[in-house]
Amino acid sequence: MTKRFSFSLNATDGKARTGVISTPRGDIRTPAFMPVGTAATVKAMMPESVAATGADILLGNTYHLMLRPTAERIDRLGGLHKFMNWDKPILTDSGGFQVMSLADLRKLTEKGVTFKSHIDGSKHELTPERSMEIQRLLGSDIVMCFDECPALPADRTRINESMQLSMRWAARSREAFGDRPGHALFGIQQGGLEEDLRAESAQALRDIEFDGYAVGGLAVGEGQEAMFSVLDFAPDQLPTDKPRYLMGVGKPDDIVGAVKRGIDMMDCVLPSRSGRTGQVFTRRGVLNIKNARHMDDPRPLDEQCTCPACSNYSRAYLHHVFRAQEMISGMLLTWHNLHYFQEIMQGMRDAIAVGAFGAWEADFHAQRALGDIAPL
Ligand SMILES: [Zn+2]
């Protein structure tokens, strides 16, 4: 018999929660950070290296994969897990957000969205039903509802209309998803920064019933203060016994602030994308490896970090390979960044489990406030 998808909460500390999402492909420890494997790869990383950083799950992008190599081709080749050699859980987004941010000539109707591919200009349609089909063909373990999300700031009328449309699409997504034991479908709360619209959206989703609930429509340019002000109430509007996922977040302090407010899952391209542009996240904040101050520095990025970049290479070497545009630069810096993000998650899980989240958070902010180590 197929193992069911389930979520168990092991401890709470204030609003912060730690638990385990069980899936047939393995457990996901929460709070969880999901690296983004946009085009069936976490850029510059082998899948086993991603797993070695401590990631229990990755995110795949429906929009990119439906255009290239196509969901049908991935299905013929055995599904996304086999195709990309990742046997742990995969969450796929619905494609809606990236259609809005990347595609050309978008046309939005009640039925769905038509658009032209940013790759070759070919014409495509995404609807709730088509998004569910694509995510099924990919073999995704956690499927996201197809939704629509306006960029912020937007006026209340626009936010409300968009939320209502997304709730109608959520019902159609649920219907099209059907009954798939071992696979989960998450609803996505919308409503911008408006508490009453968020509450209405949460109620609509609870009436439909999902396996988990995402807080959508944030991290779209509203800033951290506005995002936290929504997270002060939005997670509380969602069921306590289901995972809560904040989409597209974020920087380390965004992640910590979200977990503090009751979020269980997050994803972001930041650690991998930054790794390719020379931006490095450490417990003492952000540094840029291309700066000349690192040119003669024999010390690692972070003396306490156990990742391969910090265990075996100096800042001077990492500066050199970045300047020389060697591929190992993106590989090592991405590994370090992903390792650091997972270390934050592990630190929070351990702290919440023993009721010490407040002390952990204070130490997190105190170390960041020190700034990077002084130049030699
Ligand atoms: Zn490191």
Q: CATH 3.20.20.105: which residues of the chain?
A: 6-267
Average model confidence (pLDDT) across the chain: 96
Counted residue by residue, the chain has a size of 376
Residue 48 makes CB contacts below 8 A (sequence gap 6+) with: none
User: Do 66 and 55 meet the contact criterion of CB atoms below 8 Å apart?
Assistant: no
Q: What single-letter DSSP state applies at residue 115?
A: E
pLDDT per residue over 68-114, tens digit each? 999 999 999 999 999 999 999 999 999 989 998 888 888 999 999 99
Q: What is the structure's pLDDT at 2?
A: 60
Task: State the CB neighbour count (10 A cutoff) for residue 105.
Answer: 9
Amino acid at 205: L
Beta bridge pairs of residue 104: 116
Question: What string of H, E and C letters represents the secondary structure of 123-152?
Answer: EEEECHHHHHHHHHHHCCCEEECCCCCCCC
Nearest to 23 by CA among 205, 213, 243: 243
From CA 121, how far away is CA 136, in angstroms rounded? Answer: 25
**Which distant-in-sequence residues (6+ apart) come within 8 Å of 140 by Cβ?**
60, 80, 90, 91, 92, 183
Q: pLDDT tens for residues 314-352? A: 999 999 999 999 999 999 999 999 999 999 999 999 999
**pLDDT value at 3 more than 90:** no
Cα separation, 130 vs 138, whole angstroms: 12
Residue 190 is assigned to a ligand binding site: yes
Encoded tokens for 107: 């046309």
- Is 75 catalytic? The answer is no
Q: Tens digits of per-residue pLDDT, 260-303? A: 999 999 999 999 999 999 999 999 999 999 999 999 999 999 99
pLDDT at position 178:
97
Q: Which position among 56, 254, 264, 267 bears the catalytic label? A: 267
Q: Of residues 13, 56, 93, 211, which has the active-site annotation?
A: 93
For helices 252-260 and 327-353, the axis angle rounded to 10 degrees is 20
Q: Of 6-10, 120-124, 220-224, where does the model show the most confidence?
A: 6-10
Interval 222-238: pLDDT, tens: 999 999 999 999 999 99
User: What is the model's pLDDT at position 221?
Assistant: 87
| 223 annotated ligand-binding residue | no
Counting other chains too, the contacts that 354-362 makes at CB distance below 8 Å and 24 or more residues apart are: 354/11, 355/11, 355/13, 356/13, 357/13, 357/14, 357/16, 357/260, 358/13, 358/14, 361/256, 361/260
Confidence of residue 55 (pLDDT cuts 50, 70, 90): very high
Instruction: Verify whether residue 93 is a known catalytic residue.
Output: yes
Question: pLDDT tens across 244-263, in order?
Answer: 999 999 999 999 999 999 99
Query: Pick from 275, 209, 256, 271: which is nearest to 364 by CA?
Result: 256
305 known member of a binding site: yes
CA of 130 relative to ligand 1 center, distance in Å: 41
Q: How far is the CA of 294 from the centre of ligand 1 (A)?
A: 15
Distance 213 CA to ligand 1 centre (A): 33
Helices 128-138 and 156-177 pack at an angle, to 10 degrees, of 50
Q: Residues 200-210: what's their mean pLDDT?
A: 98
- Is 115:62 a contact under the CB 8 Å cutoff? no
Pairing label, strands 184-189, 212-215: parallel
Ligand-binding site membership of 93 (annotated):
yes
310 annotated binding-site participant: yes
Q: Residue 1 pLDDT more than 70?
A: no
Residue 26, classified by CB atoms within 10 Å of its CB into exposed (0-12), middle (13-18) or buried (19+), is: middle
- Please determine, for residue 152, whether its predicted confidence score (pLDDT) is greater than 90: no
Measure the CA angle with vertex 170, ends 95 and 244; round to 5°.
80
Look up residue 204 and give its amino acid: A
Which pLDDT does position 105 carry in this prediction?
82
Report CA(340)–ligand 1 centroid distance (Å). Answer: 7
Q: How far is the CA of 284 from the centre of ligand 1 (A)?
A: 12
pLDDT band with cut points at 50, 70 and 90 for residue 153:
confident
Beta strand 279-282 with 285-288 is: antiparallel
| pLDDT tens track for 39-54 | 999 999 999 999 999 9
> Kind and range of the H or E element at 187?
strand 184-189
C-alpha span between 129 and 117 (Å, rounded): 19
User: Which class is 6-267 in CATH?
Assistant: alpha beta
- Residue 370 reports pLDDT greater than 80: yes
Share of the chain above pLDDT 70, in %: 99
Residue with tokens 């520095």: 297
pLDDT (mean) for 152-169: 94
Dihedral pair phi/psi, residue 9, rounded to 5°:
-90, 125
Centre of ligand 1 to C-alpha 337, Å, is: 7
Residue 95 annotated as lining a ligand binding site: yes
Cα 363 to the chain's mean position, in Å? 25
